Amino acid sequence: MLYIGVDLGGTDIKVGVVSEKGEILSKVSAPTLRERPYQAVVADIASLCKLAAEKAGVKMEDIAAIGAGVPGICKGGMIAFCTNLFWRDIPFVQELHKYVSQPVYIDNDATVAGYAESIAGVSAGTQSSVFLTLGTGVGGGIVLHGRPYSGAHGIGSEIGHMILKMDGEPCTCGNNGCLERYASATAIIREGRRALEKEPGSLMMEKCGADPEKLDAKMVIDCAKAGDPTAKRVFDAYVHAVAASIVSIINILDPQVIVLGGGVSKAGEFLLNAVREAVEPMIFMKGMPYTRIELAKLGADAGMIGAALLGHVE
């Protein structure tokens, strides 16, 4: 069976034909131009679907279903809420059905990325997994019983807004101490800058060209790798927060695998090993088998693959 996956982002729309095993047969993209009415964006998505099919050398009739991953909250064919696109209560499925006859599915982008990993990525073959995108914010994707899980009202899986430190750092959501205030790239940068105020002699100062405003998460991690003690402290605190988040997820959901994706996960084994080491002594039931922790494998295409596979099985 063949599927089309749509990765609808604030900047670009990526569309591809994907096999039921998660292989990409073709890929096309176009700018989202989000200032336009949603109807225009959806019309472009329909055109991109046809283009992707053409590029893969298949007919639209050969496509079993179309799925879209969107940076927001989906419920019953509607995009209830999508900050990046300024969309609210958009009848996405109905609109796309003006152009295509296939079943159309939509879900949150982090959720479908996690779903992709569970079919064609590092958690392939598992029935339960949690995907964490450690990026500017922290996104979450939950797969339970082999299917994406978004909760009873479509507002679950927002793991970045689990409260990790009650009354801690203020969050954009209005609460305090959300996980993403401690486990995101943004958190590394914030703490790196704070550390530079006290310890301007750190290697990080050199890396950012003596302009802490230019400090990014990669610089902090690279300096930690290079052995700079200030950067190492920032990195260790970050790892501690990620580990505490993972322990909370294990104590609630106990999935087979937790997958780390997003920009920060590009730190690779250096991050993974540190996180695994920090999690182990925090496990509630010592000595019992627990969740594997792994790095995401599918990279930037995960969203498109997972979206495509939403129609698989259903």
Residues that bind a copy of itself (CB under 8 A): 73, 80-81, 126-128, 140, 142, 144-145, 150-159, 161-168, 173-175, 177, 182, 240-241, 244-245, 247-256, 281-282, 284-285, 288-291
CB of 9 to a copy of itself, least distance (A): 20
The DSSP annotation for 214-270 comes to G--HHHHHHHHHTT-HHHHHHHHHHHHHHHHHHHHHHHHH--SEEEEESGGGGGTHH
CB of 174 to a copy of itself, least distance (A): 7
Which residue's structure tokens are 């730190």? 267
Angle at 243 between CA 238 and CA 247, to 5 degrees: 150
CB of 124 to a copy of itself, least distance (A): 15
Task: Count CB atoms within 10 A of the CB of residue 195.
Answer: 22
Smaller CB separation from a copy of itself, 46 or 241 = 241
Task: Count CB atoms within 10 A of the CB of residue 308.
Answer: 36
Q: Maximum Cα–Cα distance for the chain, whole Å?
A: 63
Distance CA 274, CA 243 (A): 9
Which residue's structure tokens are 């940076």? 71
CB of 234 to a copy of itself, least distance (A): 15
Smaller CB separation from a copy of itself, 19 or 256 = 256
Angle at 163 between CA 303 and CA 262, to 5 degrees: 25
CB of 70 to a copy of itself, least distance (A): 14
The DSSP bridge pattern shows strands 129-134 and 138-144 to be antiparallel
CB of 56 to a copy of itself, least distance (A): 35
CB of 48 to a copy of itself, least distance (A): 28
Smaller CB separation from a copy of itself, 132 or 215 = 132
Distance CA 81, CA 92 (A): 11
Closest CA to 222 of 251, 276, 183, 264: 264
Smaller CB separation from a copy of itself, 40 or 144 = 144
Distance CA 279, CA 245 (A): 9
Smaller CB separation from a copy of itself, 152 or 213 = 152
Distance CA 129, CA 296 (A): 12
At 107, the amino acid letter reads D
Residue 70 parent element (H or E): strand 63-70
Smaller CB separation from a copy of itself, 105 or 149 = 149
Smaller CB separation from a copy of itself, 132 or 310 = 132
Smaller CB separation from a copy of itself, 158 or 294 = 158
How many residues does this entry show for the chain? 314
At 236, the amino acid letter reads D
Smaller CB separation from a copy of itself, 170 or 209 = 170
